[in-house]
Amino acid sequence: MKRLYRWISALLISVLLCGTAAIGRAATVELPQLNDYLTVRDLAGYWDATATLISLEGDTAVTASHVVSVSEGVVTILDGGVYVLSGTLDDGQVVVDVKDDEKVQLVLNGASITSSDSAAIVVRQADKVFITLAEGSENTLANGGVFSEEGVDAVIWSDEDLTFNGTGTLAIDSPAGDGIDGNDDVKFASGAYVITAAGRGVDSNDSIRIADGNFTVTTGGTAFRASHTSNDALGCIFIWGGDFMITTGGGAGEFTVQENVMDGPQSMPDFNGEAMTPPDFSGEMPTDMTPPEDFAEGEMPTPPDRGTMPGESASETESEDETACKGFKASGDIFIIGGTFELDTADDAFHADGDLLVFDGEITAASSDDGLHADGSLTVVGGKVDIAQSSEGMEAEIIVVAGGSVSILASDDGMNARSSTGEKETFDAQEGVRIEISGGTLSVNAAGDGIDSNGDLVITGGTVVVCGPVSNMNGALDYNGTATVSGGTVVAAGASGMGENFSESSTQAAFLVNLAGDAGEIHVSDAEGNEILAMKVDKPFETVVISSSDLAVGETYIVTCGDASAEITLTDTVTGADSGSAAGNHGPMGSQPETSGEAGEA
């Protein structure tokens, strides 16, 4: 996957019967097809009466096969074939160690395996291993809280490809490590899985591929991670379907948004929530300051770790997020082609070091960090995405919304497009960075900037509603390059201090007007009283930017919200404030159109 969506432009989306998506004027990308990534046998989960039976009996196992070794609770499979396991192994392990061109299918049919100090199932060598959950069966695999073998730190550990299928259930308990670790591909075709792990739920070097299944995953680390350090084409996650309930790191925690009021002095809270009094710098500096004990004369002390600063890539401050608590993490790309997701994560809900595509499905995510994050491009083509809690709802170098329904609640920026190269943030546009909206519906409620692009903002279609900040340090729309609108409907309300209109290069009429309103419906009517549009906003605002194909230059419009109203005549395609490059827009707004009625301080 060579960064498939890095440079695509979303002016047009059409999904063809052959499974390709023509995305914009730049590229046509073939979507991952299920049959190309999972084989017929992966999907089948079938076995017959010729399978070898293994009965697990406390501290040992019984079988008639001469290619199965049983010694001190360790059951070792030495030849390819199908093996059906049932019963309980109190403190032992199943090991697969066959020729590298042989396949092994383990059918769990009411099996319970616990290893006090290692993995319950270990795959040392094979061409491929299938773990099949027999119909109606309930199976349990567990570790006792210690992993004594170096390199093995999961309840299921495999050095080869793994496929899970069948229609039974599997519970995995890993109080000291991961649930499933695979050094190659890890695939799920079907089945129900309950994974509880102190570390990661599922970890794969090459890829994670999920056709279907039911997953309840509770982890201290990342729930699903695919990570390959040396090959950009690997480390990807593909999801065609399934139901996911995921909690990581104890969840996102209580959601609080602290927004400064629009007017009056602003105080900075300390860590106890009380206002801090600025230090008194008058008078002389103290002369009895004692240096740290390890401070040698002539040396500068080492500053504390400052974490990842805005505009930096996370890789600048940590080589790998081993302690992360993400929902889904890929060193490559993530493809969400379907599925239903409920995530409560102490870190990003979805994070791709490459590109992230949401083609369909339903996502509900509460995150203490980003909802959807990609270092490359983040594209939503369809489905429903509800970021119910986040620091930043969507973050990537390129963000594309071409269809579907997207809702974001953020304590910082709702959408943030920024360079992934570590380029420092300034008022200059970052090359290649942009947000494109061409279809679907987008609703943003943000305490920081509503839609923030360190490059360009392009809107050609769709319905966009932004409930921006009440703090004058941020704006409903924020961009460093240009912001052009040529189609769709846009209502962006927020504080006035950093408010920005669209650029004068826009081809669809737009205006910015000062209107101090409370939460409620914003109505736009023409001079005869005919309603042009109505949109609901969820919190107070001072300015509102409106664009619609029903607006026309030379016409007069009345904007109302509750008892507040303002009248504006469109004198140009973009009217109100200084349009053009964002460099002229940061800070207090420029000239405003004449307003009338009860428009507060407008």
pLDDT digits 0-9 by tens, 300-354: 344 334 344 433 444 433 444 678 999 999 999 999 999 999 999 999 999 999 9
pLDDT tens-digit map of 447-463: 999 999 999 999 999 99
pLDDT at 588: 35
The rounded percent of the chain whose pLDDT value lies above 90 is 73
pLDDT tens-digit map of 139-155: 999 999 999 999 999 99
Query: Average pLDDT, stretch 273-297?
Result: 43
Helix (H) or strand (E) holding 41: helix 40-44
pLDDT tier, 26 (very low <50, low <70, confident <90, very high otherwise): very low
pLDDT at 282: 43
pLDDT tier, 442 (very low <50, low <70, confident <90, very high otherwise): very high
First vs last C-alpha separation in the chain:
51
State the burial class of residue 250 (Cβ atoms within 10 Å of its Cβ: 0-12, 13-18, 19+). Answer: middle
pLDDT tens-digit map of 169-223: 999 999 999 999 999 999 999 999 999 999 999 999 999 999 999 999 999 999 9
pLDDT at 364: 98
Asked whether 421 and 443 are in contact (CB, 8 A), the reply is: no
Give the 3-state secondary structure of residue 202: strand
pLDDT at 221: 97
pLDDT tier, 293 (very low <50, low <70, confident <90, very high otherwise): low
pLDDT at 257: 60
pLDDT at 82: 98
pLDDT at 29: 54
Comparing 274 with 379, the larger pLDDT belongs to: 379
pLDDT tier, 585 (very low <50, low <70, confident <90, very high otherwise): very low
CA distance 25 to 212: 33
State the burial class of residue 504 (Cβ atoms within 10 Å of its Cβ: 0-12, 13-18, 19+). Answer: middle
State the burial class of residue 72 (Cβ atoms within 10 Å of its Cβ: 0-12, 13-18, 19+). Answer: exposed
pLDDT tens-digit map of 466-483: 999 888 888 899 999 999
pLDDT at 421: 73
State the burial class of residue 16 (Cβ atoms within 10 Å of its Cβ: 0-12, 13-18, 19+). Answer: exposed
Query: Average pLDDT, stretch 50-60?
Result: 96
- Please list, in sequence order, all residues whose beta carbon lies within 8 angstroms of the beta carbon of residue 536, skipping any fewer than 6 positions away: 465, 520, 521, 522
The position carrying tokens 């073939």 is 30
Helix (H) or strand (E) holding 40: helix 40-44
pLDDT at 259: 57
**DSSP type of residue 330:** E
The position carrying tokens 């620091």 is 391
